[in-house]
């Protein structure tokens, strides 16, 4: 089996919401207006309803009820709204997966995203682009869990879903991995080419410096999100610090590894607001 056969096998392959596709394309249009973004969101009633629910949550302390996408964008800002809608859209795409599989995936992706945005300035990378691509970088795993549920559970016993060795373990067992599946899904979803390159990080060539830098940043952030969930001592964590990635990005080991700050400082209550059970 190859990636095309896997995607063809998944008869219930998620259909990306049109508004989500257009939002991703909007990254090539940094001048998109508040009203333009609100119009995009209003075209998808389900996504719009979820955004309004979040805008009216205690997190944003709105002095009055938010009743329209335009009001939500004005209150939350273009950057926050784009990130929230992308998050909601992705969760809805894979709602058929059981929550015990989807929730850990989403927690890891969200942590990777907020950390990639946090470290992006050190590498002179667009933080919002890094955030969005981090949310998307593991999407191939969700497709593989839809199409190959039993083999994926067996692989979980060999390596955690986002352990550094996971890509190699999947390739050895299946002849492809979640990065390749995610890249092919991104092509079928007609994502911008940069997104395809970064999601399929294993295939990124060195003649694409922007894609390589983003892929490296996401890999480092994903490593940090993974290692903090492992039962390791501080000394063991620091011994595993991926120096080859960190040096390229200018991220000191004093900013990561066992020295990393509590996740709550970066994530706040976003994991609860954007959990699959709430969307």
- What are the φ/ψ torsions at residue 141 (nearest 5 degrees)? -65, -40
> What is the pLDDT at residue 205?
54
> What is the pLDDT at residue 216?
95
151 and 174 Cβ atoms separated by less than 8 Å: yes
Closest to 161 in 3D by CA, of 177, 175, 172: 177
Contact residues for 41 (Cβ-Cβ < 8 A; gap 6+): 19, 47, 48, 51, 69, 72, 73, 81, 85
Q: What is the pLDDT of residues 103-137, one digit of tens each?
A: 899 899 999 999 999 999 998 999 988 998 999 99
Q: What is the pLDDT of residues 227-240, one digit of tens each?
A: 999 999 999 999 99
DSSP secondary structure letter of residue 176: S
What domains can be seen in the chain, in order of their start residue? 3-273 (1.10.3210.10)
Give the chain's count of helices (H) and strands (E): 18, 0
Q: What is the pLDDT of residues 131-151, one digit of tens each?
A: 989 999 999 999 999 899 999
Residue 204, pLDDT above cutoff 60:
no
Q: What is the dihedral of CA 271, 272, 275, 278, to 10 degrees?
A: -160
pTM of the model: 0.88
Read off the pLDDT band of 175 (50, 70, 90): very high
């Amino acid at each position: 089996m190859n990636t095309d056969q896997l995607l063809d096998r998944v008869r219930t392959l998620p259909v990306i919401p049109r508004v989500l596709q257009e939002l991703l394309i909007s990254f090539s249009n940094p001048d998109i207006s508040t009203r333009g973004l609100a119009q995009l969101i209003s075209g998808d009633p389900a996504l719009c309803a979820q955004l309004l629910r979040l805008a009216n949550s205690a997190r944003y302390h709105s002095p009055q009820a938010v009743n329209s996408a335009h009001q939500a964008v004005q209150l939350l800002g273009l950057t926050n709204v784009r990130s929230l809608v992308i998050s909601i859209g992705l969760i809805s795409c894979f709602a058929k997966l059981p929550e015990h599989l989807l929730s850990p995936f989403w927690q890891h992706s969200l942590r990777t995203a907020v950390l990639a945005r946090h470290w992006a300035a050190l590498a002179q990378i667009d933080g919002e682009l890094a955030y969005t691509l981090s949310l998307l970088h593991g999407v191939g795993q969700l497709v593989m869990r839809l199409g190959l549920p039993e083999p994926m559970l067996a692989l979980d016993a060999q390596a955690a879903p986002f352990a550094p060795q996971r890509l190699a373990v999947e390739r050895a067992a299946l002849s492809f991995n979640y990065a390749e599946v995610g890249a092919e899904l991104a092509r079928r979803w007609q994502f911008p080419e940069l997104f395809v390159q970064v999601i399929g990080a294993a295939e990124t060539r060195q003649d694409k410096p922007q894609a390589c830098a983003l892929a490296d940043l996401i890999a480092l952030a994903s490593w940090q999100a993974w290692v903090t969930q492992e039962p390791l001592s501080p000394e063991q964590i620091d011994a595993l610090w991926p120096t080859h990635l960190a040096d390229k990005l200018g991220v000191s080991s004093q900013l990561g590894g066992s020295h990393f700050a509590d996740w709550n400082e970066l994530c706040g209550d976003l994991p609860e607001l954007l959990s699959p059970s709430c969307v």
